[in-house]
Every structure is written in C-alpha cells, then in structure tokens.
C-alpha cells in the first residue's frame, strides 16, 4: 500500500492539505488527504491529515476508525484526534480518558511527522469563487455556479471541489489544460497572473511567492518593520522555532554564523536541503558580515566636528582632537581595537529608521578605495609612514583577519551551492509534476463518471497505480460504474471492498442499497440499513437504505416515510425525491409527478427523475411528453440502453415504427445482454412481420432468462405465425406450467389462432 517515501512529494501534500483545511475547502482537502494516505499508509502524519479531513467533512466514525489503533501504535496526535472524534460523537468519558493519557503517559510514541504545521492560510479569491459556486448550485443557479467554479479552478487548480462541481453541472473542462504541469505558488495557484483561456486576471498576492524549493523570498524593501515581520507571514515550511540558535534574532533562523551553513544544518533535520536565505541587510547584530561589509566600507560621519585634518605633506605627527585628549595610535594589523565600536553595531545603534542604517553604498569613494590596499600592506612597525598616514575610516574598519568571506575555508564554493539549488529545484519540480499527474488521472475517471461513460471509467481506474486503486472513493466509483452498466455482481463486489477498507463509510451507500434492492437481497439490505443508521442517524443515505428495505418488502407507506425523512435531512438530495416518486407511481401518479419535479429542481442532471416523469406521462398516454422526458434522460445518460428502449416504445405507440426500431437497434448495441431491450425489439420485429429476426432474439432471451414466461409465450406466437403449430403448442404448454396466471392469455392466443385457421379454410373453399 505504501509507496517509496519522497520528502518533496510529502511536503507538497502536507502543505496543500493544510492550506485547504484552513480555507475550509474540506472536500478538496479530503481528496488530497486520501491520496496521501493511500500513497504512504504507514506514515502517521498522513493518517492524521486523512482523519482530520474526514472529521471536517462530517465522517466522524471513519475518522475515529483511522486513529483507533493499538495503544502501543498510537502517537500523541492519534490520541488527540481520537479525543476530538469521541467529543463529536458525545462520548465524553472516552474523550476525557484519551486527553488524560496524553498528559500522564511519560513515554508516548513519537510521531512520524518531519515538520511542524504550516501557518494558517488565508482564503483568497479562488476560495471565494468556489464557495459562491457551491451556493449557486444549491440555489438552482447553474449558470452562475459554472462561472464561479471555472474562475476558481483557473485561479487555483488544486480546488478539487470546483472540478467536481463543474462535472456535476454538466460542464466538462479540458483536463489537460486545467491540470497542466506547472510550478505551484504559495497558495497552490498558477505562476502566471492572467489565464489565457478566460482572460481572468489574478491580483498579485501580497505574500511572497514560492520558489522552486518551496520557500518564499520577500520583496526588496527598506522597511524594517516589514522585514522583521517576515517570520509572521505564511510559509509552507519553517525551521524549528525551538532551536536554541534561532532565539536571539527573532526570526526563524540564526544569524550568528554563516547563513548558508546554519540553514543547511537546520534543514537536514527536515530531510530536505534549504535554499540560501535572502540577504536581509539590516540584521547585523552578530559577527556575520553584512552586504555592506562585502562591498567595502561606506562613508562615515566623523564622531565630532573638531577632528583635525590629516597633514597633506606627509608629516608623521599624530592626529589629535581639539578637546586636548591625546589619541592612541591605531591598532596593529590583525588586532581589533578594544575601544573601537564595529561599524555594523554603530549603524544599528544610530536608530532603526535612520537613513545611515538603510543606505548601502555600492562603490566607496575613490579616496577610500585607494587607501584600502595600503591598510592591508602596511608595515607592522609602529613608526612606519604607512601606519601614520592611516585615515580615521581605515583605522576604525574591522580587521581583515576577522572578516568572514562567503567562500571561507571549509565551506562549499558557489558552484557547489548552485548545483545543490539546481538539484533541489528539480526535486520540487518533479513533486509538482507528480501532484498534477495525480490530478489528471483521477479527473479523467471522475469526468467519465459524470458523463456516464462507464466503460471509460473502468479503463481510467485501471491506469491508476495499485495503491490508488484501493482507496475507498475509487472503489465506490467503480461500484457506481458497474451499477450503471447493470453489471450488478461486479458492482456488489466493488462496494463490498470499499466497506472492507472503511466499514463506516456512508457516502455512496444509497446506490449500494438500491443495488441490493435490484438483487432482491433482503437480509443484506436490512443489515446495511440498520448499520448505516447506527453509524450516522442524520445521514440521508442511511434512511434511503431503510426505505429501500421497506420497498423490497412491499411496505410502501413505511418506505415513503423513510424517503421523506432523508429529504428532510438534506433538501438537496434528489435521489430521495426520486425514490419517493417511484413508490407513489403505482397509487397516485400526480403525487409521483410532484416528487420527480422536486428532484429535478434539486439536481437538473438527475436522469432518474426525468425517466420517472416519462413513465408517468406514458401511463397517462401523453406520448409526446413521455418521449420528451425520456429523451432528456437519454441526453444526460447516453449509454443507458433502457432509456433508449423507453423512448423507442413511446415512438412506437405514436406509430413511428422505423424510428423506434432504430432506437431499439442502438439500445441492443449498447447492452447486448439486456433482456428488456431485446424483448422489446423482438416484439416490434413481430409487428413488422420479420419473424426470423424476432425468433433469433427470442431464442437468445430464453437462454438468458429461461424462467421468463413472457418470452416463452412470444415464442409460441412466432411459431404459430410461421406455421409451426406443433412447436407453438409445445411452447404454450410450457408457458402455462411456468405461469398459471397467464392461462387466460394463452386461451385467447389459441382462440385467435383457431379463428384465423377457420377463416383461411373458408377462403380456400370459396376459391
């Protein structure tokens, strides 16, 4: 189940999931959390994120199941999430015991987390577009919902909920364009500010953008407060704030020694190598040389205005102050003056907002540059001319031996750092490609399911990696695909596998319960309904399962009560209204029509409701309206053979036999083993006097459904029309034995055949 750990991919997963959770994009967070857990199921942090996402999505029992491990396998985060789940379920005693165990346990199992939680993310415009799309979809405004979802997805392709919303509304974006490979920014959006497809211009984020290594470079600024607040901005990864080396500076890193060496040592603890820290310039409270030191001394102000000028004639006399204080000779080369304050310290002490502090002189004056080599090569003798001719600037400069060069002895050179940064950038680029490849592969399967292209769904799932194929959402997707293909045995196996992995899953269980209804498995359906109600009594899926159980037992009033309960719990649940309509169809067609219309208002792409309306109008002999609603259902689900057969039946009743026959042909091509459409095609072939073709269909139907009396009866009718009286009598006897209730229909067929034979004999006598 677990894939080979990759710190860059794991870091990208963790950052993305936390950002989505912080911005309340819980469905999108659950998608990535499940993928992360399937990729590395042994990772405790993946388990924590997956259970947290489930908890945020209301699947409390599933979240509890994930962290309810053996006591020796639980870490502190597992116990904490366990306590949250128990508190949500009202199990306060278990929650208290778990929290007390965290405090009293002296040796808790260490978590496998390799980094601390990223800072709380702030919702941007893509998040608000996504939320607006959800509200528009629930408010029956599909056009606005599609527009908002498209804008959200263009700004942030990691909003999986926006993609699902588009597919549910019948708008299918180009997957290769939406989830094209790109380098992610801090918020997971694209690097470019304008999307070429929609022309929507993004506002530049006020926060720093991410580099290829996942860190953020602040914009060049002289604002001291902005630089000092850099540690408060959102970053995907931070250094350990508990490190003793980083306490003094107030930042997330230390500035006492070489920045490159310090940051590299901190990042080795995270499993990744850190990029070079940007030059902050103003942080010079240690012996580390600033950018000004590297470029040469800046012009200094004299301490007093009474400093005597240097003699220009080469006089060896000492420089004195007007105050009468005798000046000490300058220190020897390589020996710092104890009474001389470092230039960087003076800059900081001159005021935080002072101009002298923030001003950087790229090239010092010519006078300083010309005398700087003399300071390095001057004689060690106190009485030398070079030593006496030192300027105040040179005398107070830091000694050469104390200056730390970026290429100091023992540290890697620029070429080594460049190679490391390039390799690190390639690793992050590979991680981003993995994320978008994962999105594309799953989006293909989900989009095919929204189109009801069920065979393509199975093919797309087969292209996934084995660990992703075992996720509960993918197994449920496969079960839905087989259910729509009327392959109930494989659908049942897929749903069973999903419930084995997550026995507390509630989502998609309404489809599973309807599947058991079709299979006439009363005991399993009853057990499923009771189990779902015990898991979450507020879930509409649980009451739909209970309603299907009552419907299978022909208790329609109880079934309607359960379906009404489901619709009250979730007014947007179109499936509950549709099942209520089907239960009311036998007793009150007008009530059934009302339920079906309510289902269409809740979900315009719910093809079962369109099919139910077509059935109502067909029973009312409103053939044109029945054909219209069947056609709408077939447009939503173009691969459903039953819908095409129903549409053909309405056209056949209107006298359009040729058009109806073409639809029957198409339906049989879609589902060769579907007995219903083949039976109806056989009947229309009989009406068109194509007895040989009808006989072929009926013989195949007898092999598919040998206990179906209607098939045997139609065989007897075809044999009689073809002049085979013996075969016709044999099939009629078989039909009578299989269904004694059809005795009256058999007698009418026999009488009709006798009358036709008598009329034929009379015509022959007259001739």
Domain co-membership, 651 together with 629: yes
pLDDT at 417: 83
pLDDT at 753: 58
For the chain, the domain total comes to 5
Domain co-membership, 733 together with 585: no
Domain assignment present for 467: yes
Domain co-membership, 11 together with 62: yes
Is the Cβ–Cβ distance between 162 and 127 less than 8 Å? no
State the Cα–Cα distance between residues 583 and 547, nearest whole angstrom. 10
Write the pLDDT tens digit of every residue in 325-361: 444 444 444 444 444 444 444 434 444 344 333 344 4
- Pick the last residue of a domain from 562, 577, 597: 597
Q: Which of residues 259 and 481 earns the better pLDDT score?
A: 481
Q: Which of residues 111 and 40 earns the better pLDDT score?
A: 40
With 0-12 / 13-18 / 19 or more C-beta atoms within 10 angstroms meaning exposed / middle / buried, residue 766 is: exposed
Domain co-membership, 561 together with 617: no
Domain assignment present for 22: yes
Tell whether the model's pLDDT for residue 449 goes beyond 60: yes
Confidence at 410, pLDDT banded by 50, 70, 90: low
Domain assignment present for 384: no
Domain co-membership, 31 together with 162: yes
Tell whether the model's pLDDT for residue 687 goes beyond 50: yes
Domain assignment present for 296: no
Domain assignment present for 625: yes
What residue spans of 207-360 are helical by DSSP H? 224-228, 259-268, 291-295, 343-349, 355-358
Write the pLDDT tens digit of every residue in 699-723: 999 888 888 888 988 898 899 888 8
- Mean pLDDT across the stretch 236-259? 36
Buried b / exposed e along 5-29 (16+ C-beta atoms within 10 A): ebebbbbbbbbbbbbbbbbebbbbb
State the Cα–Cα distance between residues 604 and 610, nearest whole angstrom. 9
Write the pLDDT tens digit of every residue in 378-387: 434 444 444 4
Domain assignment present for 621: yes
What angle is formed at CA 229 by the lines to CA 227 and CA 235, rounded to 5 degrees?
A: 100
pLDDT at 294: 40
pLDDT at 505: 96
- Pick the last residue of a domain from 597, 624, 653: 597
- Mean pLDDT across the stretch 133-137? 95
- Mean pLDDT across the stretch 39-65? 94
Q: Lowest-pLDDT range, 308-317, 441-450, 558-567, 667-676?
A: 308-317
Q: Which of residues 149 and 674 earns the better pLDDT score?
A: 149
pLDDT at 239: 30
pLDDT at 750: 67
pLDDT at 742: 72
pTM summary value? 0.70
What secondary structure, in 3-state letters, does 235-267 show?
CCCCCCCCCHHHCCCCCCCCCCCCHHHHHHHHH
Confidence at 298, pLDDT banded by 50, 70, 90: very low
- Mean pLDDT across the stretch 197-208? 38
Q: Which of residues 280 and 86 earns the better pLDDT score?
A: 86
Domain co-membership, 482 together with 628: no
Q: Lowest-pLDDT range, 102-111, 418-427, 563-572, 696-705?
A: 102-111
Q: Which of residues 438 and 116 earns the better pLDDT score?
A: 438
Domain co-membership, 152 together with 14: yes
* CATH code of the domain containing 482: 1.25.40.10
Average pLDDT, the chain: 75
Q: Which of residues 358 and 40 earns the better pLDDT score?
A: 40
Confidence at 424, pLDDT banded by 50, 70, 90: confident
Q: Lowest-pLDDT range, 82-96, 326-340, 581-595?
A: 326-340
Domain co-membership, 512 together with 634: no
pLDDT at 109: 52
Domain co-membership, 161 together with 26: yes
State the Cα–Cα distance between residues 461 and 268, nearest whole angstrom. 38
Confidence at 744, pLDDT banded by 50, 70, 90: confident
Domain co-membership, 129 together with 73: yes
Tell whether the model's pLDDT for residue 304 goes beyond 70: no
Q: Lowest-pLDDT range, 25-29, 184-188, 462-466, 678-682?
A: 184-188
Domain assignment present for 235: no
Tell whether the model's pLDDT for residue 627 goes beyond 80: yes
Domain assignment present for 401: no
- Mean pLDDT across the stretch 441-449? 97
Write the pLDDT tens digit of every residue in 602-620: 999 999 999 999 999 999 9
Residue 433: both structure tokens together: 């490609």
Tell whether the model's pLDDT for residue 62 goes beyond 90: yes
State the Cα–Cα distance between residues 86 and 232, nearest whole angstrom. 34
Q: What percent of the chain has pLDDT over 90?
A: 51
Tell whether the model's pLDDT for residue 407 goes beyond 60: no
End-to-end CA distance of the chain: 85
pLDDT at 366: 41
Of 27-36, 207-216, 283-292, which has the strongest mean pLDDT? 27-36
Domain co-membership, 158 together with 40: yes
Q: Which domain holds residue 548?
A: 506-597
């Amino acid at each position: 189940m677990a894939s080979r750990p990759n710190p860059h991919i794991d870091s990208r997963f963790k950052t993305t999931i936390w950002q989505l959770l912080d911005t309340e994009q819980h469905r999108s967070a659950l998608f990535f959390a499940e993928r992360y857990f399937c990729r590395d199921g042994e990772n405790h942090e993946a388990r924590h994120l997956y259970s947290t996402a489930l908890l945020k999505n209301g699947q409390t029992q599933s979240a509890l199941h994930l962290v309810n491990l053996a006591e020796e396998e639980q870490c502190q985060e597992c116990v904490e999430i366990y306590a949250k789940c128990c508190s949500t379920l009202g199990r306060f005693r278990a929650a208290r015991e778990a929290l007390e165990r965290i405090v009293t346990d002296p040796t808790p199992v260490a978590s496998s987390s390799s980094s601390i939680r990223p800072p709380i993310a702030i919702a941007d415009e893509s998040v608000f577009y996504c939320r607006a799309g959800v509200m528009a979809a629930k408010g029956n405004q599909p056009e606005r919902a599609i527009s908002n979802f498209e804008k959200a997805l263009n700004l942030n392709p990691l909003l999986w909920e926006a993609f699902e919303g588009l597919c549910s509304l019948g708008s299918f974006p180009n997957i290769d364009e939406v989830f094209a490979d790109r380098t992610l920014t801090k918020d997971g959006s694209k690097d470019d500010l304008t999307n070429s497809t929609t022309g929507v211009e993004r506002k530049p984020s006020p926060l720093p953008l991410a580099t290829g290594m996942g860190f953020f470079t602040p914009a060049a600024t002289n604002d001291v407060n902005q630089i000092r607040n850099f540690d408060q901005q959102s970053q995907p990864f931070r250094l350990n704030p508990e490190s003793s080396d980083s306490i003094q500076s107030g930042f997330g890193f230390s500035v006492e020694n070489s920045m490159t060496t310090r940051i590299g040592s901190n990042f080795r603890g995270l499993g990744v190598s850190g990029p070079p820290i940007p030059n902050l310039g103003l942080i010079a409270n240690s012996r580390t040389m600033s950018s000004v030191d590297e470029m040469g001394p800046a012009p200094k102000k004299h301490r007093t205005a009474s400093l005597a000028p240097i003699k220009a004639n080469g006089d060896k006399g000492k420089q004195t102050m007007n105050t009468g204080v005798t000046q000490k000779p300058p220190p020897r080369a390589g020996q710092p003056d104890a009474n001389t304050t470092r230039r960087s310290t003076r800059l900081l002490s001159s005021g935080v907002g002072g101009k002298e502090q923030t001003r950087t002189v790229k090239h010092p004056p010519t006078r300083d540059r010309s005398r700087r080599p003399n300071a390095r090569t001057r004689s060690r003798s106190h009485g030398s001319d070079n030593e006496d001719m030192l300027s105040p600037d040179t005398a107070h400069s830091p000694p050469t031996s104390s200056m730390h060069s970026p290429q100091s002895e023992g540290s890697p050179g620029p070429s080594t750092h460049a190679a490391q940064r390039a390799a690190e950038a390639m690793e992050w680029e590979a991680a981003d490609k993995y994320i978008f490849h994962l999105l594309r592969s799953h989006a293909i399967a989900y989009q095919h399911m929204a189109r009801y292209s069920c065979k393509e769904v199975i093919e797309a799932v087969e292209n996934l990696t084995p660990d992703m194929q075992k996720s509960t959402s993918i197994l449920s997707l496969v079960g839905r695909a087989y259910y729509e293909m009327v392959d109930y045995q494989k659908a049942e196996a897929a749903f069973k596998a999903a419930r084995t992995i997550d026995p507390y899953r509630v989502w998609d269980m309404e489809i599973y319960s309807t599947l058991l209804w079709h299979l006439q498995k009363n005991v399993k359906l009853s057990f499923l309904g009771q189990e779902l109600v015990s898991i979450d009594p507020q879930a509409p899926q649980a009451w739909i399962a209970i309603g299907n159980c009552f419907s299978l037992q022909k208790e329609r009033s109880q079934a309607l009560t359960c379906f009404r309960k489901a619709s009250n719990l979730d007014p947007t649940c179109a499936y509950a209204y549709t099942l209520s309509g089907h239960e009311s169809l036998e007793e009150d067609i007008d009530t059934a029509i009302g339920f079906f219309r309510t289902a269409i208002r809740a979900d315009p792409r719910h093809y079962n409701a369109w099919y139910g309306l077509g059935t109502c109008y067909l029973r009312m002999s409103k053939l044109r309206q029945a054909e219209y609603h069947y056609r709408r259902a077939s447009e939503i689900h173009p691969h459903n053979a039953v819908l095409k057969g129903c549409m053909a039946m309405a056209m056949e009743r209107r006298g359009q036999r040729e058009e109806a026959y073409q639809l029957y042909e198409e339906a049989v091509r879609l589902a060769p083993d579907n007995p219903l459409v083949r039976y109806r095609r056989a009947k229309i072939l009989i009406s068109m006097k194509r007895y040989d073709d009808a006989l072929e269909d009926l013989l195949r139907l007898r092999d598919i459904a040998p206990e179906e009396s209607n098939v045997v009866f139609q065989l007897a009718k075809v044999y009689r029309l073809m002049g085979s009286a013996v075969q016709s009598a044999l099939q009629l006897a078989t039909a009578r034995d299989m269904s004694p209730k059809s005795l009256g229909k058999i007698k009418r067929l026999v009488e009709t055949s006798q009358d036709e034979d008598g009329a034929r004999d009379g015509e022959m006598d007259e001739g």
